[in-house]
Chains A and B, each alone.
Chain A
Amino acid sequence: MVAIMRPGHHGSMESVLNVRPRQLRALGWAALFPAVMCLCFVCWGARPWTWIAVSAAAAVTLLTPAVAADLLAVALLGFASYAFALIGRNETLPPGSGTTAGYPFHSVVFGSGPPHTVDLAAGLLMLAVGAWLVPRTIGVHSRLSRRNGDLLNRVRRLTITRVDAVDTAAAELRRIERDLHDGAQARLIALGISLRATEGLIRTNPEAAVALVAESRENSARALTELRALVRGIHPPVLAERGLGDAIRALALDCPVPATAEVDLPGRLPAPVEAAAYFAVAEALANAAKHAEARSVHIRATHAAGALRIEVTDDGAGGADPSRGTGLRGVERRLGTFDGVLAVSSPPGGPTIVVIEVPCGS
């Protein structure tokens, strides 16, 4: 079983679904327009009704996307049907009155004279050209509408990832506020209180004052420890100091499971990408150690073709389901902000491979 999560994946599915109906619709219109023209001319000839109906059909065609390409094909089919309409009309005219009166386009398009053979030939030619042209213009049409669909998907995806990014940032700020409030802030308040008490005791009871000072020192040390842990969670110092490559090496060194790191990265990447990738690797390593009972982990980080790619492979029990854990979900959301993807392959019995890919220039 391979469980794969790809933020970009549902996007491409949609774009496939988007293009197909559009192509069909374009075909429908392309057929409708000449059909309407044909019907109008056969029934009414060149009367005001005809022009109104033909204009309405043209307007509907114009409303479809990528019309320019369709219109050419439609126009040619239109001329073809016009020619057939003439023939049909002529046959219904009383014998001997075979004129082209009432067909204003006829002399312009086909010249004067008996319409029958010339009309037929012109109609067939137009039909052939139309048949040749339609598949081609539909190709152009679908390319144009696919671009449209892609842009639509892009907007949809950006909307989702932007909401995710804002939510994640807000949750992160709340967590930091809570940690500071319950941790360092509380410690500093305790520190202030014991210093105040020390101030009062320093002359009257030096021994108690010394004990309080020791307690204060303890409190300040604890505050520092807590701040250190907090800072690590916000932006790991080693990442700020050394960049992603060494930060991954540091993660490998600190991992409770023996981990090897193979890093081939050019210089520094954009800071937010580095941070997102760092936390993704940290999460993958934590999972390998906690859930998979892995004996060894291998991390491979490369930068090729404008994308950062990191693979974390462990030899653990496998069977990881990324949709169930909140950790990898969070990582996926964070990567999504940079159009990054996370893929997990974890068959029962292992191995588990977590792949992270983030497009970014170096």
Chain B
Amino acid sequence: MRVVIAEDQFLLREGMASLLKEHGFDVAEAVGDGPSLLRALTSQRPDVAIVDVRLPPAYTDEGLRAALEARRQVPGLPVLILSTHVERLYARELLADQAGGVGYLLKDRVFTDEQFTDALRTVARGGTVMDPEVVAKLLARRSGQPPVARLTDRERQVLELMAEGRSNSAIGQRLVITEKAVSKHCTSIFAKLDLPPSDDDNRRVLAVLTYLDS
């Protein structure tokens, strides 16, 4: 799997590159600023890109903008955005095209190899991965409102993990329940939230995120 990395801090860039090589990824290019990221994304067409939001030259949101621009030119180009902070605003912009192949995680998650590489693979497959903090922010505002308040504690846990972009089997492993139990919870959640049921993992995540963000 070919990966492009955009990160301006040398240590983190090299650390990420060696971590990915260990896990069998092929690092096609590692860049350190916005303009070279856009060039790398459009010329390399990687299977997935890892992009830091804040990049030189201006250290604002060059990374995010380059990624969004690359996705405009190459629709559905899988991009995993990393940042030291997460904003619902950015998550919304990333999800706006509903094309999938999008991830948005805190940089801290890189420490946990499996979570990070799992997320990377999900995004490369066209899936959607949201940081638990984004999901928590989305749920915080909704938790008092009737449809979300009607969910049981277990259903809430499942909803959270679902919104983060995990598959049924991953949710099952995490909560130590069977996959069948997870899918039962999912059916019940979708019914309570009045969402059309969907077997497609990615469409399911997008539906849940769109619901929570509306």
Decide if A241 touches B54 in the complex (CB within 8 Å).
yes
Q: Is B84 interfacial (CB-CB < 8 Å)?
A: yes
Q: Is A221 interfacial (CB-CB < 8 Å)?
A: yes
Decide if B111 touches A217 in the complex (CB within 8 Å).
yes
CB distance from B82 to the nearest CB of A (A): 13
Residues in B neighbouring A225, C-beta threshold 8 A: 108
Query: From B111, which residue of chain A is reached at the shortest CB distance?
Result: A217
Decide if A253 touches B88 in the complex (CB within 8 Å).
yes
- When A241-B53, A242-B61 are in contact, do A254 and B88 touch as well, CB less than 8 Å? yes
Within 8 A of A (CB), among B73-103: 83-85, 87-89, 92
Contact partner of A237 (CB less than 8 A), chosen from B84, B88, B107, is B84
Residues in A neighbouring B60, C-beta threshold 8 A: 240-242
Q: Is B21 interfacial (CB-CB < 8 Å)?
A: no
Residues in B neighbouring A253, C-beta threshold 8 A: 87-89, 92, 137
Decide if B141 touches A258 in the complex (CB within 8 Å).
yes
Q: Is B140 interfacial (CB-CB < 8 Å)?
A: yes
Q: Is A6 interfacial (CB-CB < 8 Å)?
A: no
Contact partner of B87 (CB less than 8 A), chosen from A221, A250, A256, is A250
- When A221-B111, A241-B54 are in contact, do A246 and B85 touch as well, CB less than 8 Å? no
Interface residues in B, total, Cβ within 8 A: 20
The answer for the CA separation of A221 and B107 in the assembled complex, in Å, is 10
The answer for the CA separation of A237 and B64 in the assembled complex, in Å, is 13
Residues in A neighbouring B54, C-beta threshold 8 A: 237, 241
Q: Is A47 interfacial (CB-CB < 8 Å)?
A: no
Q: Is A269 interfacial (CB-CB < 8 Å)?
A: no
Residues in A neighbouring B64, C-beta threshold 8 A: 241
Contact partner of A238 (CB less than 8 A), chosen from B59, B89, B140, B141, is B89
Residues in A neighbouring B83, C-beta threshold 8 A: 237
CB distance from B203 to the nearest CB of A (A): 23
CB distance from A268 to the nearest CB of B (A): 10
The answer for the CA separation of A246 and B53 in the assembled complex, in Å, is 15
- When A246-B89, A254-B137, A256-B140 are in contact, do A220 and B111 touch as well, CB less than 8 Å? yes
Decide if B85 touches A231 in the complex (CB within 8 Å).
yes
Q: Which of A232, A254, A258 has the most CB of B within 10 A?
A: A254
Decide if B89 touches A256 in the complex (CB within 8 Å).
no
Query: From B59, which residue of chain A is reached at the shortest CB distance?
Result: A240
Interface size class of A (residues with CB under 8 A): 20 to 34
Within 8 A of A (CB), among B2-48: none
Decide if A238 touches B87 in the complex (CB within 8 Å).
yes
Residues in B neighbouring A255, C-beta threshold 8 A: 141
Query: From B85, which residue of chain A is reached at the shortest CB distance?
Result: A237
The answer for the CA separation of A237 and B85 in the assembled complex, in Å, is 7
The answer for the CA separation of A241 and B89 in the assembled complex, in Å, is 12
CB distance from B67 to the nearest CB of A (A): 14
Residues in B neighbouring A224, C-beta threshold 8 A: 84, 107-108
The answer for the CA separation of A229 and B41 in the assembled complex, in Å, is 32
Residues in A neighbouring B61, C-beta threshold 8 A: 241-242
Residues in A neighbouring B137, C-beta threshold 8 A: 253-254
Q: Is A249 interfacial (CB-CB < 8 Å)?
A: yes
CB distance from B9 to the nearest CB of A (A): 14
Q: Is A228 interfacial (CB-CB < 8 Å)?
A: yes
Residues in B neighbouring A241, C-beta threshold 8 A: 53-54, 60-61, 64
Query: From A253, which residue of chain B is reached at the shortest CB distance?
Result: B88
Within 8 A of B (CB), among A242-261: 242, 246, 249-250, 253-256, 258
CB distance from B192 to the nearest CB of A (A): 20
The answer for the CA separation of A246 and B60 in the assembled complex, in Å, is 13
CB distance from B20 to the nearest CB of A (A): 19
Query: From A227, which residue of chain B is reached at the shortest CB distance?
Result: B84
The answer for the CA separation of A242 and B140 in the assembled complex, in Å, is 24
CB distance from B66 to the nearest CB of A (A): 13
Decide if B89 touches A221 in the complex (CB within 8 Å).
no
Query: From B138, which residue of chain A is reached at the shortest CB distance?
Result: A253
Query: From A217, which residue of chain B is reached at the shortest CB distance?
Result: B111
Beyond A224-B108, A254-B88, 5 extra complex contacts between A and B, CB < 8 Å: A228-B85, A237-B84, A241-B60, A250-B88, A253-B88
Tell me the A residues contacting B by CB distance below 8 Å. 217, 220-221, 224-225, 228, 231-232, 237-238, 240-242, 246, 249-250, 253-256, 258
Task: Name 5 interchain pairs, CB-CB below 8 A, sorted by A.
Answer: A220-B111, A224-B108, A241-B61, A246-B89, A253-B87
The 10 closest A-B pairs by CB, nearest first: A241-B61, A253-B88, A250-B89, A241-B60, A237-B85, A238-B87, A224-B108, A250-B87, A221-B108, A228-B85
